C-alpha cells in the first residue's frame, strides 16, 4: 500500500543545511525512513518548497515509513506543525478514471539522448575514450548520452511529448495574457494548460572525491486529462524521467480548480 508523506525541515539546523544542499545525502536520509533494508522498492521524493525559514519534502513510498530520524536531526521536534504528515495514497489511485481531469505538479530532469554530446563532460569524455580504446570498438557506436534540455521551450516540449505514454494529455486552455512587450487586445489565445513555475541547475558531489553531478530541473504545474488510467497509475508510482534518486520525477495530482473546469467547458 503506497503512502505519500510531507516532512518539514528546519533550514537553520546544521544537518538540514547539509541535506538540503546535496540531493545524494537527502536521498540516503529518505531511504533510512524505511524498515526493510536495503531498500529495494521505488522511492520518489521532491523538494516541495524551500525558504530560509522552512523546507518541505514530499516522499512517496510503497511501505509505511518513519521520519522520526529526520525530525530529530533536521526538523522541528516537539513543535506544533513539526510532525510529518503520512497519507494513504490508495484512495487517489482509485479515483483515476478515463476522461477525468486533475491539477498536477511535477519536478523533473528533462533530457534527450544523443549519439555524442556537443560539449562532453569529464565523465562523458571518459566514456568516449574508453569506447575508442576497445579492440572491437570500430563500427560500433557507444550507447547514447543523456543531454539536458536547458531552455524553457525545450522543457515544455519534453513534458508535452511524453504525456500520452504516461496515460494523460494536457488540454488546451485560453489565455488573455499578452506576450512580453505586447499590449492586450482582448483576444484569447489557446495553449496547453501547463507552465514552468521554477527552473534550476543542481550541482553536487555524490562523494567528496568523486565527480560533480549536474542536473537541470524544471517544475511543471498545470492540468491533465486521463487517457489511460493504468498508465497514469504507473507514472504516479514509478515517476517520470531520469534522476529519480535525486528528487526528480514525482508527479502529484490535486482536484482541478473550479475556474479551470469552467473555462474548459
- Domain check: are 111 and 79 in the same one? no
Burial of 35 (0-12, 13-18, 19+ CB in 10 A): exposed
Domain membership flag for residue 156: yes
Per the structure, how many domains does the chain have? Answer: 2
Structural domain contains residue 247:
yes
∠41-103-96 over CA atoms, to 5°?
Answer: 60
Per-residue pLDDT of the chain (265 residues; tens, 9 = 90+): 899 999 999 999 999 999 999 999 999 999 999 999 999 999 999 999 877 788 999 999 999 999 999 999 999 999 999 999 999 999 999 999 999 999 999 999 998 876 665 666 656 556 556 666 675 655 566 667 777 888 999 999 999 999 999 999 999 986 555 555 555 555 556 789 999 999 999 999 888 877 888 889 999 999 999 999 999 999 999 999 999 999 999 999 999 865 444 445 4
Q: Are residues 223 and 154 in the same domain?
A: yes
Strand order in the sheet with 85-88: 44-50, 55-61, 3-9, 85-88
Question: Which of 88, 118, 152 marks a domain boundary?
Answer: 88
Handedness of CA 241, 199, 29, 64 (dihedral sign): negative
Same domain (yes/no): 112, 162: yes
At CA 252, angle to CA 15 and CA 8, rounded to 5? 25
- pLDDT confidence of residue 256: 85
Residue 54 lies in a domain: yes
Q: 113 and 61 in one domain?
A: no
Looking at the fold, whether 27 and 50 belong to one and the same domain comes out as yes
Residues 25 and 48 in one domain: yes
For residues 149 and 76, state if they share a domain: no
Residue 250 domain-assigned (yes or no): yes
Cell triple for 3: 503512502
Do 76 and 120 have their domain in common? Answer: no
CATH number at residue 27: 3.30.70.1200
Any domain includes 182: no
Q: Within a domain: residue 172?
A: yes
Cis preceding linkage at 203, omega within 30: no
Same domain, 81 and 131: no
Are 250 and 119 within one domain? Answer: yes
Residue 195: the pLDDT is: 95
Domain region containing 23: 3-88
Nearest-angstrom CA–CA distance, 265 and 259 = 10
User: Among 25, 54, 88, which residue terminates a domain?
Assistant: 88
Question: Long-range pairs for 69-75 at CB < 8 Å and ≥24 separation?
Answer: 69/29, 69/32, 69/33, 70/7, 70/9, 70/29, 70/33, 71/7, 73/13, 73/15, 74/9, 74/10, 74/13, 74/15, 74/16, 74/19, 74/29, 75/7, 75/8, 75/9, 75/10, 75/13, 75/16
CA–CA separation, 228 and 238 (whole Å): 15
| Same domain? 111 vs 39 | no
Q: Please tell me the distance from the alpha carbon of residue 147 to that of residue 143, in angstroms, as a whole number.
A: 13
Predicted confidence at residue 262, as pLDDT, reads 43
Residue 95 domain-assigned (yes or no)? no
CATH number for the domain harbouring residue 204: 3.30.70.1210
Residue 145 · residue 119 · CB < 8 Å: no
- Say which residues have a Cβ less than 8 Å from residue 108's Cβ, sequence separation at least 6: 158, 159, 217, 218, 219, 220, 240, 241, 248, 249
> Contact 96/43 with Cβ under 8 angstroms?
no
To the nearest 10°, report the CA torsion of 216, 48, 235, 233.
-170
Q: Are residues 129 and 259 in the same domain?
A: yes
Amino acid at each position: 500500500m503506497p503512502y505519500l508523506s510531507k516532512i518539514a525541515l528546519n533550514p537553520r539546523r546544521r544537518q538540514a543545511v547539509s541535506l538540503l544542499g546535496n540531493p545524494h545525502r537527502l536521498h540516503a536520509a529518505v531511504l533510512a525512513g524505511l524498515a526493510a533494508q536495503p531498500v529495494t522498492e521505488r522511492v520518489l521524493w521532491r523538494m516541495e518548497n524551500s525558504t530560509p525559514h522552512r523546507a518541505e519534502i514530499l516522499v512517496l513510498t510503497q511501505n509505511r515509513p518513519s521520519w522520526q530520524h529526520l525530525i530529530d536531526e533536521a526538523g522541528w521536534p516537539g513543535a506544533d506543525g513539526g510532525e510529518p504528515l503520512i497519507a494513504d495514497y490508495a484512495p487517489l489511485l482509485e479515483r483515476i478514471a478515463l476522461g477525468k481531469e486533475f491539477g498536477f505538479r511535477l519536478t523533473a530532469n528533462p533530457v534527450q539522448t544523443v549519439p555524442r554530446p556537443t560539449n562532453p563532460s569529464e565523465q562523458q569524455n571518459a566514456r568516449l575514450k574508453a569506447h575508442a580504446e576497445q579492440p572491437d570498438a570500430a563500427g560500433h557506436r557507444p550507447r547514447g548520452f543523456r543531454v539536458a534540455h536547458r531552455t524553457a521551450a525545450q522543457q515544455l516540449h519534453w513534458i508535452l511529448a511524453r504525456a500520452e505514454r504516461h496515460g494523460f494529455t494536457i488540454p488546451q486552455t485560453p489565455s488573455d495574457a499578452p506576450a512580453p512587450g505586447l499590449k492586450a487586445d482582448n483576444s484569447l489565445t489557446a495553449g496547453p494548460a501547463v507552465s514552468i513555475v521554477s527552473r534550476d541547475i543542481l550541482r553536487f558531489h555524490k562523494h567528496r572525491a568523486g565527480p560533480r553531478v549536474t542536473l537541470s530541473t524544471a517544475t511543471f504545474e498545470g492540468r491533465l486529462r486521463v487517457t489511460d488510467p493504468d498508465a497514469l497509475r504507473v507514472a504516479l508510482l514509478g515517476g517520470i524521467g531520469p534522476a529519480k534518486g535525486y528528487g526528480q520525477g514525482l508527479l502529484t495530482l490535486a482536484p482541478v480548480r473550479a475556474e479551470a473546469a469552467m473555462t474548459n467547458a
